[in-house]
Amino acid sequence: MRFRTAAIHAGQYPADHQGAVMTPVYQTSTFAFQGVNQPGPFDYSRSGNPTRKALEQCLARLENGIAGFAFATGMAAEATVTMMFSAGDRIIVHSDLYGGTYRLFETVMRDKQVTATYIDLRDLDRVERALAEGARGVWIETPTNPLMNLVDLAAISALARAHGAVTICDNTFLSPYFQNPLDLGIDVALHSTTKYINGHSDVVGGGVVVKDPKLAERIGYLQNAMGTCAGPQDCFLVLRGVKTLAVRMEEHNRNALAIAQWLAGHAKVAAVLHPGLESHPQHALALRQMRGYGGTFSFRVSTDMAGMTRLLESVRVFTLAESLGGVESLIDHPATMTHASIPPDVRARMGITDDLIRLSVGIEDLEDLLDDLKQALDRV
């Protein structure tokens, strides 16, 4: 099956559910045994649930993996994956990343003696040196959140494999529709399914997909042991949302690129960080490893914090809110919102400064979105 067909049908078999075309919500905690010491396909919903199984199979198919896992949140997925590492292990992490991931590494995993070393993963020589020093894993975002830097997945995965390190790629920004990390050699593809995969801002969830059977066994064990799995109602909502992923991503991509091009010519905009623009320093890499650019990008405004506040509070179609990937457009100020948990000096080193805005461009009428940004920028 091709992508659009798989998004609608993979893992969802009416014959397994009394002919139900949409996999039902199996809102049950436990399942009857067939006899003493004879469990059926499911025994307890933390260990497995038919609704969750359908979603996990669908995610695996879309990311071209052999096994998928659905989690209660994106951070639950991240926490479970990090538990593959042991005390004394070091993970190389890109120096520009989501604030929640930074918080996980610095306030949780560091206390468990799992250390994150932050480097620029665009510098392959630096990556190789770090791997040679004994790193056990490489944690990647591409594009990064919120600076939209790209990481060469094929190059990084080859280096890591040569040194026996596990590679994990957060693929949330592009979704499986525009990028498939496993096909480029990455070991673990990770998602906040809250975002594009669900696409309707009505559920939180996470997803992990792998190709290696040993990794699948390990993550499956951790998911069950830690109880980080997604509930059936949430899985149902994500399954419903993913059916329109392909058509939504096309609209997100088209609107976001048009807005980025318009912002690039605006007198009050200092820079636009969008890999689909030829001005992006890694535009060639984007063309090589991505099939589109998604709907999220950032830009810098030539103003002070007072002007930024006026802009953010003036939008009418865009909503000032965290998150991304829904059908509605959101505007975010990373320094005071999504990345506020990062210490100010670290944010400054990353380049997450007060002049930076992140947009999650929805699928509304493009002219309405442009009109909204025009009137908001006029107030700067």
Which residues belong to the active site? Answer: 46, 98, 170, 195
- Per residue in 370-380, is it b (16+ CB within 10 Å) or e — as a string? bebbeebbeeb
Structure tokens at 311: 């802009």
CA 238 → CA 51, 59, 75, 299, distances in Å?
Answer: 10, 10, 16, 30
Strands 137-141 and 90-94: parallel
CA 221 → CA 18, 109, 218, 239, 366, distances in Å?
Answer: 30, 19, 5, 23, 45
Structure tokens at 206: 């996470």
CA 202 to chain centre: 16
CA gap 93, 114 in Å, rounded? 12
Residue with tokens 């199979």: 57
